[in-house]
Amino acid sequence: MPPIAAIGNTAAVGALDPASALSATAASGTGATGGASFGNALTGAVDNLQQLQGTSDSLAIKAVTGDLTDIHDATLASSRAQVTLELVAGVRNKAVDAFNEIMRMQA
């Protein structure tokens, strides 16, 4: 069985941080396209979250089957996926709150 570094999961786990999707895509556009850039930021964050969860799942399966040589990689991937999920859920909740507040102001 090849080491995890040869498969690429370790590199993927180390390259992604929880706030990268929101900060990188939010900085790409401002001004009149603010709504579009916010949508792009959320799309990027969800894509990042799916990638992190996929990596976490595959490493967890390898840990259970005994194919994983270092449990540290699986723990890191799981933690990153959890933190990213909490970040995306928090941003979503704030966006819903802001939308509800705008709707109350119009009434």
pLDDT digits (tens, 9 = 90+) for 16-52: 454 554 454 444 444 556 778 888 988 998 999 999 9
pTM above 0.85, yes or no: no
Question: Could you give the 3-state DSSP secondary structure of residue 100?
Answer: helix
Tokens encoding 103 = 């709707």
pLDDT bucket at 4, cuts 50 / 70 / 90 = very low
Mean pLDDT score of the chain, rounded to an integer? 77
Q: Give the number of domains in the chain.
A: 1
Location of structure tokens 């540290």? 72
For CA atoms 60, 64, 69, 70, give the dihedral sign.
positive
What are the C-alpha distances in Å from 22 to residues 10, 39, 100?
22, 10, 22
The whole domain housing 28 covers: 4-106
Give residue for tokens 């080491």. Answer: 3
The stretch 66-71 carries a mean pLDDT of 91
